[in-house]
Amino acid sequence: MPEYALFQNSILVKLILILHVCVKLFILRGILIFVDQIFLIEAIGAAALGAIVGSFVNALSFRWGTGVGMRGRSRCMHCGHKLSALDLVPVASYLFIRGRCRYCSARISLQYPLVELVGAALSLGTFLVQPSPLPYTVAFLLWMTLLFLVTYDLRHLSLPIPALWTVGVLGLLSTTLSCSSGSICAVAVPPLVSLVAGPIIALPLLLFSALSGERWMGWGDGFLALGLGWFVGLTGGVTALCFAFWGGAFVGLSLVALSRRRVTMTSEIPFAPFLMFGAAIVYFFHIDLFSILLV
């Protein structure tokens, strides 16, 4: 038997081999844990950022168009007491003070924690769909603007024009981002189908507005659909519209059935929340009616 064979069979070599494999596994596990931790921290950061912007969206929805302006510290809507930093921590403050003002005990609108939570969920969802910095930023800004539009529409039954412009510009910008594998993204000329998606999705809603003299639908909803069509694409946009109309019909008829006096078939119901709902189903859950029907 050659000498090296003896050496190979020795217990020491076997121990060294086992140790070598263990070290390799340990390093691999360490890298995996490290990567997961970074991902986890980024995901928590994205959710926190969404909650903070959600808090700003709340303030904006109360102040926009009211002449109050965005400057100056936040105050209690009932007693006018200036709110401290402790009162303004998204979600946590509301839970800590149990939904009542610390100074006058007046009940605080549930809108505050709800919008902050939805902001956190939208930002986290966007990060999970698009973790690359550039597409995440564009999509995050678009969802936050959409959150403001929906909050404002529910409160005031109108859509601020600058926010509609913002959704349109960001939607169009998203068509120019071409992301291949991993986090490699580049700005490119969008294909024609992406460019026409916005106008095609907006057209039926704008026709509704024109034919009904804004009784069935406001102009703002059509312009909102323009930006969303660019954002989720042509088939995604049609899917989002279908979900928006189904959701609108379901909620509208339920409201008529549940409150016979206050809500009637001619009551004005904001449509922007349903457009956002449809776009969210397409963007976050990758649901596309065309791919489902054609399979």
Nearer to Zn ion among residue 29 and residue 81 (C-beta): 81
C-beta closer to Zn ion: residue 78 or 82: 78
Task: State the nearest-atom distance from the C-beta of 105 to Zn ion, in Å.
Answer: 7
What is the smallest separation between the CB atom of 107 and Zn ion, expressed in angstroms? 10
Count residues contacting Zn ion (CB under 5 A)? 7
What the block records as the tokens of 57 is: 């969206």
Closest approach of Zn ion to the CB of residue 169, in Å: 39
Residues numbered 136-175 forming contacts with Zn ion, rule: CB under 5 A: none
Min dist. Cβ of residue 75 to Zn ion (A): 8
State the Cα torsion 228-234-236-242 to the nearest 10°. 80
Closest approach of Cβ 82 to Zn ion, in Å?
10
**Binding of Zn ion by 101 (CB under 5 A):** yes
Residues from 107 through 136 that contact Zn ion (CB under 5 A): none
Structure tokens at 103: 């100074």
295 is written with which tokens?
Answer: 């399979």
Q: Which residue lies nearer to Zn ion by CB, 103 or 284?
A: 103
Residue type for 94, please? Y
The nearer residue to Zn ion, 74 or 178, going by C-beta atoms, is: 74
Contact region with Zn ion (CB under 5 A), list: 2-10, 104-112, 137-145, 253-261: 104-112
* Other residues' Cβ atoms within 10 Å of the Cβ of residue 189: 10
Residue 75 φ/ψ, nearest 5 degrees? -125, 160
Q: Which is nearer to Zn ion, 63 or 102 (CB)?
A: 102
Nearer to Zn ion, 103 or 219 (CB): 103
**Segment near Zn ion (CB under 5 A); pick from 101-109, 150-158, 162-170, 287-295:** 101-109
The least CB distance from residue 99 to Zn ion, in Å, is: 12
Which CB sits closer to Zn ion, 92 or 104? Answer: 104
Separation of alpha carbons 178 and 281, rounded Å: 22
- Terminal alpha carbon distance of the chain: 65
Contact with Zn ion (CB under 5 A): which of 103, 216, 245, 284? 103
Which sign, positive or negative, has the C-alpha torsion 154, 79, 91, 160? positive
Residue with Cβ nearer Zn ion (28 or 77): 77
* Smallest distance from Zn ion to CB 79, Å: 3
Smallest distance, Å, CB 108 to Zn ion? 8
Binding mask 54-93 for Zn ion (x = CB under 5 A): ----------------------x-xx--------------
Which residues are at the interface with Zn ion (CB under 5 A)?
A: 76, 78-79, 101, 103-104, 106
